[in-house]
Amino acid sequence: MHELTSIAALRERLAAERRAGRTIGLVPTMGYLHEGHISLAHAARRKVGKSGKVVVSIYVNPTQFGPKEDLSRYPRDFKRDRQFCRNAGVDAIFAPSDAEMYPGCGEATDEPAREDARPTFSTYVVEENLARGMEGVSRPTHFRGVTTVVAKLFNAVLPDFAVFGAKDFQQAVVVKRMVADLNFPLQIIIAPTVRESDGLAMSSRNRYLDAEQRAQAVILFHALQAAKQAVARKAIPATKLKKDLQKFFTAAPLGTLDYVEFFDPETLQPVAQVKRGTHMALAVFFGKTRLIDNGRL
């Protein structure tokens, strides 16, 4: 397994594979890998076959964190990540520095840039429709950072396809739109959410939860199941189902509901009537830890 930290070295390595006719799959991550990430690597391996190459990028992208979010404390353990990748049969890890990805911006911090700063990096990719709702409301600068870093990764790796997890459903749909709108020559694959035995979606942020918060965090999964059961036989007005779920969350007093939305899975547009096939997404705070989940009802 190769470990690469510069775009130049990555391109040189993958150019040889491409000349040999090998398929290349990319799994973008921010590290602190868990079984959910590894399922994406396995999906990539199935797609490329034995002769193809699977690249996992490990980079905590500062531009997708807001000023008061958890960039400085986001979990990092490259030694652990390396072992996960080796066990999963990954062919190459791309682990760039901030300076490599954002030349001239200096060290990443949670502090806003000085007004007199003159970074040499000043170009961003912005999707202006699908990124507006849900996460875009709660985290206004988030998707600009996501689309920018993903576009840079696509240009560095030049993969035939990239695999994203369904847990970050809006993100995956935004990336698909970016790929279509900007004519990136690759396929986007959305792999199923991997869950703990009690239903909680696997996330690097789960480690922030104390024992009591962790026990109550399963409310996100239970809310999805409750909504699915509610619309199994007939459509329900979205306003009514939201109110019902707000009451449902009283069973998890340590959690604070950020949002719950019902929408078309292709357009991400909110729906007035929730029925089978509608998509649901929600975000909940447990202390400073923000968890998200989603599912097709």
Rounded-to-integer distance, Cα 178 and Cα 125, Å: 9
- Structural contact between residues 179 and 152, judged by C-beta atoms closer than 8 angstroms: no
Place of tokens 């935004």: 174
**pLDDT (0 to 100) of residue 106:** 52
Residue 34 confidence (pLDDT): 96
- Cβ-in-10-Å burial (0-12, 13-18, 19+) of 195 comes to middle
Buried b (16+ CB within 10 A) or exposed e, 148-178: bbbbbbbebbbbbbbbbbbbbbbbbbbbbbb
Interacting residues of 55 by C-beta distance below 8 A, sequence separation 6+: 10, 14, 24, 25, 26, 27, 90, 91, 92, 93, 94, 157, 159
Spans of the chain below 70 pLDDT:
106-119
Contact 259, 291 (CB under 8 A): no
- Quote the CA–CA distance of 279 and 294 in Å, as a whole number: 7
The domains located in the chain, with CATH, are 2-191 (3.40.50.620), 204-296 (3.30.1300.10)
Digit-coded pLDDT (tens) for 235-290: 999 999 999 999 999 999 999 999 999 999 999 999 999 999 999 999 999 999 99
Amino acid at 127: E
Alpha helices in the chain (DSSP H): 7-19, 35-48, 78-87, 98-101, 135-138, 142-157, 169-181, 211-217, 219-230, 238-248
Q: Is 37 a catalytic residue?
A: yes
Q: What is the pTM of this model?
A: 0.93
- pLDDT for 111 equals 52
DSSP state of 202: P
CB 96 within 8 A of CB 7: yes
Cα–Cα distance list, 131 to 104, 168, 228, 259 (Å): 27, 12, 25, 15
Distance of alpha carbon 233 from alpha carbon 214, whole angstroms: 32
Q: What pLDDT is stored for residue 117 in this prediction?
A: 47
* Nearest partner of 249 among 206, 294, 217, 210, judged by Cα: 217
Q: Which of 2, 34, 37, 222 is catalytic?
A: 37
Which sign, positive or negative, has the C-alpha torsion 124, 77, 289, 287?
A: negative
